[in-house]
Structure 1
Amino acid sequence: MRNVEAVRDADQPDETAERLTRLFRELRQRQSGAFSRQQAVAHGITDKVLSRRCRARQIQRVHGGVYVDFTGPLPWETRVWAAWLAYAPDAALTGATALRWYGVEEVRGDDRIHLAVPHPRRVDQRAGILVSRHRGFAAQLHGSRTPPIVRIEVAALMRASADPNASRQAALLLDVCRQRATTPQRLLAELDSLTRLPARQVLRRIVLDAADGVQSFLEQVYLRRVERAHALPTAERQVRVESTDGSGRRVRYRDVRYSPYGLVIELDGHAGHSDSESRWRDMHRDNSTAMSGELTLRFGYQLVDEPCLAAAQVATALRLRGWAGTARACSASCSVARNAA
């Protein structure tokens, strides 16, 4: 962009031109190389210069009136800035784009940049950008950030609501809480304001599970389809446990713990548990539990297909350790009664 910045109004004093050059460079750095025609003109760059540099492949046009100061593929951050500049200033990052901008891990979504605009605004869709119209747009924004972005609670709820898959809805909302990007209480408060949100009641039940200590989709399956559905005792969740080994004091968390009966349930929902390091970590954790006098039962994604069998095993372990209750069949075909000791 040095040549672009060099061609200015000849009447501009050198000092003014140098200041504009510096300010324009700083602007582009903040915007990951993207800039709008209006920004270029405000810094002394003419349309004629922009056209010439595009033809010389020194800059590239991304959207109408939006450029980047390099050629070649665009990094994700540059694509976000370019998309926002195409609809600025009355637009904001939302959905999967906002979640990724906030740093939420493992956000799944399509490759488009998701933007929100005020509901009365009518806009044309552009390639690679998905624009949604939001009621109460101004009230959903996070402070005065640039580019504007909706609050993380709005982004998470909008993203989950748009996904027809209940397990992915749960995984997203539980993940943002587990990663401490937000809290169940904030999500519930935001839900109260999003009265037109599709699947609102389903999302509320997921967030209420998060408020009860559930941190993953598998933990939710265990809570709903194993523990509650079969009338097992109410467990503690994500229980902090400190222990000491050769490397010093360590802190671990038990996924599910029936403290009165000395029974711990560990739920392994990640493929990473198949590698040797993770298996060793799991065995070390189970051994530590055993040395404390507690019993560990470990379940994976078989819970989704066989919750009744898991409930029978947990009920048997609980009864062996003093529980006087009886597991309840969740349906006419439930096998918990004949499988539980």
Structure 2
Amino acid sequence: MIRAVNDRLTTAGRLNAALAAAPRLADRAQLRTLLARLEAGCRSTLEVWGHDHVFTGPGMPVFRRQARVVVGRRVMYLDVYAERERVDFELDGATTHGDPRQREIDLRRDALLATVGILVVRFAHRRLMDETEAVRREVLAILASRRVDDKT
């Protein structure tokens, strides 16, 4: 389902309609949860996991997921964006971001976002999974520091 939505073969809304038409489908509750995450803007299994375990809950603001940002002629989509604080949290999967060429692309993208005042913070798959509470604390500290910076 994630791939179908990402590849624009369908939408979460259409999948929800299909789910409603199949009331006896096995694992219906899990499918409904996944569709809710897709509607919220999650676009990978890591983003779904981050949504459920890191970026929601006590103290967390409402984030924009896959927020569209245009800088010059370039259009970018930010994984988890705190608009007020202008912080983009990128969730870097283990397979895609182990490639040095991808790392260079990410660094250039991050620099471009910095030109419009957006701080990019990247969390690796391993940290998100193994250090969930530490990542949550770090996210909250970063957001708090950006709010203080806004007032000075």
Find 1:237's aligned residue among 61, 65, 72: 65
1:75-119 residue CA offsets vs partner (Å, 9 max, x unmatched): xxxxxxxxxxxxxxxxxxxxxxxxxxxxxxxxxxxxxxxxxxxxx
Find 1:295's aligned residue among 108, 119, 122: 119
What one-letter code is carried by the residue in structure 2 that aligns with 1:226?
V
What 5-or-longer segments of structure 1 have no aligned partner? 1-172, 324-341
2:39 is equivalent to residue 192 of structure 1: no
Find 1:315's aligned residue among 126, 140, 148: 140
1:158 corresponds to which residue?
Answer: none
Is the partner of 2:71 in helix, strand or coil? strand
**Equivalent-residue separation in structure 2 for 1:272 and 1:225 (angstroms):** 21
What 5-or-longer segments of structure 2 have no aligned partner? none
- TM-score, normalization by structure 1: 0.41
2:78 corresponds to which residue?
Answer: 254
Quick check: which one's helix share is greater? 2
2:34 corresponds to which residue?
Answer: 206
Matches within 5 A, 1:126-141: none
C-alpha RMSD of matched pairs (Å):
1.5
**Equivalent-residue separation in structure 1 for 2:86 and 2:3 (angstroms):** 28
Find 1:276's aligned residue among 76, 88, 100: 100
Contact 1:256–1:266 at 8 Å: present in 2 too? yes
Structure number with greater Rg is 1
What one-letter code is carried by the residue in structure 1 that aligns with 2:22?
L
1:9-38 residue CA offsets vs partner (Å, 9 max, x unmatched): xxxxxxxxxxxxxxxxxxxxxxxxxxxxxx
2:2 corresponds to which residue?
Answer: 174
**Equivalent-residue separation in structure 2 for 1:281 and 1:252 (angstroms):** 12
2:48 corresponds to which residue?
Answer: 220
Contact 1:230–1:311 at 8 Å: present in 2 too? no
How many residue pairs end up in the alignment?
147
Contact 2:59–2:140 at 8 Å: present in 1 too? no
Moved over 6 A (4+): none
Higher RCO structure, 1 or 2 (CA under 8 Å, sep 6+): 2
1:130 corresponds to which residue?
Answer: none
1:94-149 residue CA offsets vs partner (Å, 9 max, x unmatched): xxxxxxxxxxxxxxxxxxxxxxxxxxxxxxxxxxxxxxxxxxxxxxxxxxxxxxxx
Matches within 5 A, 1:15-164: none
